[in-house]
A and B are shown apart, each in its own frame.
Chain A
Amino acid sequence: MDDMRVAPLFRMEGVSKRYGGVRALEDARLDCSRGRIHAVLGENGAGKSTLIKIMAGVVQPDSGTMQLAGRPVVFRNPAAATAAGIVCIFQELSLLPDLTVADNIAIANPPRRYGLIDRRAQRRLAEAALARAGAEDIHPLAPVKDLPLSRRQMVEIAKALAQDPKILILDEATSALTAADVAKVFAVLKQLREDGLAIVYISHRMHEIAELADDCTVYRNGGFVATFAAGTKSDEAIVEMIIGREYKSVFPPKPAAKPLGPPALAITELSWAGQLKSISLAIRPGEVVGLGGLDGQGQRELLLALFGVLVGVTGKVEVGGKPVAVASPRAAKANAVGMALIPEDRKTEGLMLPMSVRDNLSFAALERFQQFGLIDRQREAAEIGEVIKLLQIRCDGTDGPVAALSGGNQQKIVIGKWLMTKPEIILLNDPTRGIDVGTKQELYQLLRRLADQGAAILFYSTDYDELIGCCDRVLVLYDGAIARVLEGGEITERNLVASALNLPAAHRHGVPLASVAQAPA
């Protein structure tokens, strides 16, 4: 086996990929060896996804070489990579919801008899794959759409194993799983490692890396940073490698004095469809209030309910002391309410990608530029210019499509679009996902500046560090209700995690946080 260590099973060298003018990956390197788990670390946008898409044949590199067992290989499509034994479990679920579990597991190459699918053989195959993935509890003939998200992810893993891979790639494969499932998946991965598979594991969670990885490689801004054996570097050192600078200086200072005065937004006993349970909160002008907790505890629903997207919301909402009924985003935007929502997915919810920077930026505020039914283009251009300057949006004029901009600049356009409506209450739904560190930092400063100018800000983030660094107060949600309110010095990672799990304060120290925490350390 020693010579296998010397010559890795898979080697990637000098691989580069550009999308238009954007460098997604440059001079990438990666070695994978049999019987080892190789963790790839990096922020969103660091190039990890592009790297594995190239490995899996989804994307063609512009340059560079790949070798499998010492021989150069080129994958023109995912099928070619699968045939060579490289199987990928992607972040986005790839199952067809209307087919059964067995159909999905065998979809690439179902067992056939006389040209027709042999259902019995397919079922046996699915059962074997599910057993190998440690998910015997899933019935092979159940339709995928009836399974909860965590079960679907297990089917996804079984589907990958059914293709008998030599190299298995997992891209954030555990982000949708419950703690018990994560433990199971880890056991399966360790078994697969024993079986001699090479595993590439991508995750944002440091403790997962610590538990699983044999080797680690860090990427940053599309470039290779370092490869090292697991356990040879401290967590702090790794985090600094990932973000490329010292960690402390990212957030602007919080104001010493608490803002006083009546709340800009007050809600009482807000409930919705069993997913929001009697939530009450008040935000004063000048406050940045965070929403914390594990993913999917009702944070998104709360923002959408406030913004008038959800139907059947009960409870009282007061803006500036007056009760309001917000039945649609249009009502939320109206002057009497003055709300803005930075949505979760900027590409499908925030932007019209093929349309110009100008059309996108002024879109929510078009009413203001109308004169005799026509758009006053001069005034529009002037205000757009101001927003571009304020947010330091890097774009070549305002006529080009938003699709050509980087993720960070796209996100700035979504925010700029809403700043043009001059909102007094700003709701943000995980706004820093998939944007680079520099832009994140600008965003944190912008939030504070907006608050200082009198905006009331409600900010949901899946990144605990952001909550700690940005917020004056954090409401931790658990199962659709506020589990705990953390204020000032109480906002620590430990408190956030403990409240997210809704642990009573007394037992907090006895729990092995690292095994269940959902946020990157």
Chain B
Amino acid sequence: MLAGIVKRVDPAVLAVFACIVLLLLGGSLYSRNFLSPEYLLQQLNVAAFLGIIASGVMLVVLLGHIDLSMPWVVTIGGMMSTAAAGWGDLGAALAIPFGIVCGLAVGLINGLGVAFLRVPSMIFTLGMNAIAQGLMVLHTSGFAPQDHATRTMHLIAVERSILGIPNALWIWAVVGAAVVILLKRTAFGRRVYAIGNRERAVYLSGVDARRVVVACFAVAGACSAFAGVLLAGYSTKAYQAMGDPYLLPVIAAVVLGGTSILGGRGTYLGTVAGVTLITLLQSILSVVQMPEAGRQITYGALIVAMLLFYGRERLQH
């Protein structure tokens, strides 16, 4: 049974899981706390934010595109939800959906630009990132908006309401399950992979690829903004550039998890593995007090190493 499952999983994903185990064992030599449930739950709580962003970004990467607007969409999610919280009781009640809808709107524009205007996603989303940044600066400059997270935002990001498991982790599980069903069981999911492999064949099969592209970017925007809402709840306030440290880890997690950066190939299980590995790596690097510079170099080196790995694999075919 177990062997059967192992056989079906991409060897690259297995390699990532092996790395996770090695990392934990290696860490436990340094401090026994690394294997304690409390430490692991704490890490998974943090991983959930990364994981929710990665869920959306993965959809876009599967298409063969990329979403570089992610950092400031996260910030939009955080800042818009806290801003809404300042608009009285109704605003506070709608803070979370409002933040998500703002991110969805940016994602929608990304999708329309990429699918209909045919601007390469790398350029278009980078441009949208700059625009989002400008909008947020505009938002904070004239007056001081409310930037404190609501009680609910704090609740879903930090507390452990069910079975002692962080609420953020439950949310990630729900988002993840939805993405898995979307990818594995729906026509939409098949089309996502197909577009990543050969958009022309999709078009000539009588499928409107543009709608799929727009939808994926919109979902990615919503996921990023949702993570921004959670992050604001986690640190009790939203602030400028709060999404910036996530760009590299998110893309690294998706690619490490075996999703081809050229699109068309990848599993959600891989993304989960990639997110977990990146989070643990971050934690361990900070516990052993590796300086920020060393951390950045390690991420970068990891991405390059994995891309090398996939490049090789492709050549053998």
Show the binding face of A for B, using Cβ within 8 Å. Answer: 307, 309, 328-330, 332-334, 341, 343, 348-355, 359, 363-364, 366-367, 369-370, 373-375, 377, 403, 417, 421
Contact = CB atoms under 8 A, between A and B. Distances in A.
Contact of A375 (B186, B193, B200, B202): B186
Contact of A364 (B186, B207, B264): B207
B118 interface: no
Nearest 6 pairs of A and B residues by beta carbon: A333-B206, A352-B197, A366-B187, A364-B205, A329-B206, A374-B185
A359 B194 contact: yes
B208 interface: yes
Contacts of B206: 328-330, 332-334, 364, 421
A348 B208 contact: no
A332 B204 CA distance: 10
Nearest to A339: B206
B201 A348 contact: yes
Interface string B174-207: 0000000100011100110110011011111111
B32 interface: no
B7 interface: no
B197 A353 contact: yes
Given A352-B193, A352-B264, A309 B187 contact: no
Contacts of B205: 329, 333, 363-364, 417
Given A352-B202, A354-B265, 13 more contacts: A307-B204, A309-B204, A328-B206, A329-B206, A330-B208, A348-B200, A350-B204, A354-B264, A355-B193, A364-B205, A366-B191, A403-B317, A417-B205
Interface residues of B, number: 22
Nearest to A331: B206
9 contacts: A329-B205, A332-B206, A333-B205, A349-B204, A352-B202, A363-B205, A373-B186, A375-B187, A421-B206
Interface of B: 181, 185-187, 190-191, 193-194, 197-198, 200-208, 264-265, 317
Q: By CB atoms of chain B within 10 A, which of A307, A349, A367, A403 has the most?
A: A349
Nearest to A341: B204
Contacts of A350: 201, 204
A329 B197 CA distance: 19
Nearest to A304: B204
B203 A329 contact: yes
Most chain B C-beta atoms within 10 Å of own C-beta, residue among A307, A354, A364: A354
Nearest to A369: B187
Contacts of A328: 206, 208
Contacts of A354: 197, 264-265
B196 to A, nearest CB: 9
A366 B206 CA distance: 11
B190 A375 contact: yes
Nearest to B208: A330
Contacts of A307: 204
A355 B189 CA distance: 13
Given A329-B206, A417-B205, A366 B190 contact: yes
A191 B308 CA distance: 50
Nearest to A333: B206
B204 A359 contact: no
A520 B137 CA distance: 70
A514 B193 CA distance: 49
A355 B194 contact: yes
B204 A355 contact: no
Which of A343, A352, A353, A354 is the most central at the interface, judged by chain B CB atoms within 10 Å of its CB?
A: A352
A141 B206 CA distance: 43
A366 B188 CA distance: 9
B198 A352 contact: yes
A351 B201 contact: yes
Nearest to B314: A354
A494 B203 CA distance: 39
Contacts of A330: 206-208
Nearest to A421: B206
A370 B188 CA distance: 10
Given A367-B187, A375-B185, A343 B204 contact: yes
A328 B208 CA distance: 9
A366 B186 CA distance: 9
Contacts of B191: 366
Given A367-B187, A375-B185, A403-B317, A355 B207 contact: no
